[in-house]
Amino acid sequence: MHEPTKLHQFQSKPNGSFFRQTPFHRKCCALLIAIFLSACTGTSTKPDSPSNPLERQAFSAEQAGNYSKAAEFYRQLSTASADEGIKFEWLLKAAQSYFKAGQSDASVELLAELNINNLTTLQLLQRQILVAELAVEKHDFDRAQIALNFDIPEQTDTATRQKIHKLRITTANALNQPIDAALSHIALDTLLDDQQSQLFNQQRLWQLLQSTTLETLEVAQANAFNNDILGWLQLAIIAKRPAQQASRSINEWLQFFPSHPADQLIVDSVLARQNYEAYQPSSIALLLPLQGPLSNAAKAIRDGFLAAYYQSDHHATPSIRVYDVTNADGQVRDDVYTVYQNAVSNGAEFIIGPLSKNAIDSLAFRSDLSTPLLALNYLSDGGQPHDLVFQFGLSPEDEARQVAERAWQDDHAQAITLTPEGDWGERMQTAFADHWQSLGGIIVENRQYNANNSDFSRDLRSMLQLNLSQTRKRSLQQQLGLELHFEPRRRHDADFIFLAAFPRQGRLLKPQLKFHRASNLPVYASSHIFNGVIDTEADRDINGVMFCDTLWAIDPNSSTIRQQITKLWPQNSQHLLRLYALGADAFKLIPHINELQQSEYYSYQGQTGILSMDDQRRLRRQLSWAKISNGAPVRLAEPDVTITPLIAP
């Protein structure tokens, strides 16, 4: 178990990096520093450009994304090299390529062949980074943190420095060390050279500091060792204190830190707190369809809401009353407004629901609403609803857009979309394609599949243009009059596949993509591909798929509310997992409604994601990312930059 995070356990280094030290870590760090100081610093390095056919094959395979083949070439280069320094360089590149290819065991085997006493400083640095990446993939965050526990050498390039700090952020977040993660964000901030990346990094940093207790911040402040860190911590402390103190405190902060890197939007959001305070209604009403086709979803939301309610530590806990908005035959009532009025007449000061889009549409634009309403879905069409209406739901279109953003951040440019036939698939394809193209991406193929099928070979062969390859073979055989040895090739104008699928379809499609020679095409998906319950046998078939989801679903131990719900409703909590999270957030959000509405920079770390509000009072979720490895989700590092579309989505 990790000892409590304390700022004085970090060292401040000349190059601006930070690392956490415990007695065990200090021993490891001392060893690493000794190795750095004694490491070979000779001039033996691999050539800057390929000098023989094998090198050219290796580099070509790597650039084409065929990392497994590249690793084999690099391994051959290592075997053929007489120079020990170059030999280790090729071994490292082979290990890195195996890792990129998803062959972690092969990567580990190669690392074991490296004698760390004979590595150059740069080689040892690359080794430690790869050890950390392998440990993160295995969820061994303790090992990852130890591997990253070193002072970054002076000659390290900016990209590598950024990678180290991002890995440190990932491990610290996984180990619930917000101050450690914040320190790495601060170090990363100085390495970012464009405004968008810096703004995104600062937003993540601010979210971390907001989620940290006042006591922890004050302890960290007492041990801060430079002005940038001190400024961030004091700003976070000001934001935690009563709103009426904000104006004077922030003015003093500005005088003491006139050149602090914190974005003005953050400073303004802290200053604006004097104009609003936490909203604390004394009575809350839930308007839910407790009968009919939506009843299971409604009951999961209700139970998630109550689980959060009973776990609340508020001094003044509001009274709760639940209203059924369905009629005798289980259909949602046409007069939902009457139920709303009844709730208000009974003293409700805040109303949550309804759930169906039609019911929300019937309420949202009425001019006679008198009590705030948090709708548990989004309006069917655009338009500006009543000022008291807030919209919150689990929008699949939002997830499709986040997939587009992640793929763009991962430097992809050309996409294939593979979505099911029907309304849901069309919505997912449209949301992804519109946002992807607004970012500057290209769609090279839109393909729909029948979700009831089990064999998708015909669709996949056509989508990947394997049939064209076979046609070329037949043409050549006719022209030459010879029987040709033939290995069909898939299209090479696509960087990745956006797959919209539920678990059954995903487990069938991913292996068939591999069979049809698309094993090295990255696959991105929405949360729907993972049912939220770890099943390593079934989900081995979707190994390698990257998907966005709630941390609640990715890591079962991340939420005490989820643990409570799993105990109380072991069966329902599996297939309705995210709806329980929606209900929990519906309760937890209420005190933050004013802040979310007033400040676009304010966000709330909820069970369903990091929540913020747009100018139409729609709550937007920023989800976490994971990759299926050995049949289980492994959390991925957060995206590096924020996204601005070329055109409005």
Summarised one tens digit per residue, pLDDT across range 482-503 is 554 555 666 778 889 999 999 9
Q: Residue 364: left if φ>0, alpha if ψ -120 to 50, beta else—which one?
A: alpha
pLDDT at residue 17 greater than cutoff 60 = no
Higher local confidence (pLDDT), 33 or 549: 549
Query: Nearest CA to 269 among 640, 597, 619, 614?
Result: 597
Residue 420 pLDDT > 90, yes or no?
Answer: yes
Q: Tell me the C-alpha distance between 592 and 207, whole Å.
A: 14
- Residue type at 444? V
Dig out the tokens for 231 from the structure.
């400024």
Residue 623, pLDDT > 60, answer yes
Specify which residues 209 forms β-bridges with. none
Q: Grade residue 290 by pLDDT with cuts at 50, 70 and 90.
A: very high
Buried b (16+ CB within 10 A) or exposed e, 275-302: eeeebebebbbbbbbbbbebbebbbbbb
CB-based burial, 476-489: b 16+ in 10 Å, e otherwise: eeeeeeeeeeeebe
Q: What is the Cα–Cα distance from 356 to 288, expressed in whole angstroms? A: 9
Contact between 20 and 145 (Cβ < 8 Å):
yes
Of the candidates 240, 189, 184, 185, the residue with the CA atom closest to the CA atom of residue 212: 240
Query: How do residues 199-241 score in pLDDT, each as one tens digit?
Result: 778 888 887 887 788 888 999 888 887 888 998 998 888 887 7
For residues 269 and 281, the model is more confident at: 281
Give 225's DSSP letter.
-
* Mean pLDDT value across the chain: 82
pLDDT at 433: 96
Picking from 155-159, 206-210, 447-451, 629-633, which range would have the lowest pLDDT averaged per residue?
206-210
- Phi then psi for residue 289, to 5 deg, are -85, 95
- Write down all domains in the chain, each with its CATH number in brackets: 7-190 (1.25.40.10), 214-275 (no CATH), 283-391 (3.40.50.2300), 397-576+596-635 (3.40.50.2300)
Residues paired with residue 613 on neighbouring β-strands, in sequence order: 619
Which of 311, 301, 357 has the alpha carbon at shortest distance from 586?
301
Beta strand pairing call for 414-420 and 442-449 = parallel
- Closest by Cα among 33, 38, 36, 6 to 20: 6
Please name the residue that has the structure tokens 């139409």: 616
pLDDT at 404: 95
Task: Tell me the pLDDT band of 561, cut-offs 50, 70 and 90.
Answer: confident
* The two structure tokens encoding residue 447: 């393909």
Three-state secondary-structure class, residue 390: strand
Which comes out higher in pLDDT, residue 498 or 80? Answer: 498
pLDDT higher than 80, residue 5: no
Q: Which of 92-96, 154-158, 245-249 has the lowest mean pLDDT?
A: 245-249
E strands in 189-324: 283-288, 319-324
Instruction: Please tell me the number of Cα atoms within 13 Å of 247 on its side-chain side.
Output: 4
Place 647 in a pLDDT band, splitting at 50, 70 and 90: very low
- The whole-angstrom separation of Cα 86 and Cα 123 is 10
Q: Apex CA 101: angle with CA 100 and CA 103, to 5°?
A: 105
Q: What is the percent of the chain where pLDDT is above 70?
A: 82
From residue 73, how far is each of 26, 55, 63, 78, 370 by CA, in Å?
Answer: 38, 7, 13, 9, 70
42 DSSP assignment: -
52 burial via Cβ count (<10 Å: 0-12, 13-18, 19+): exposed
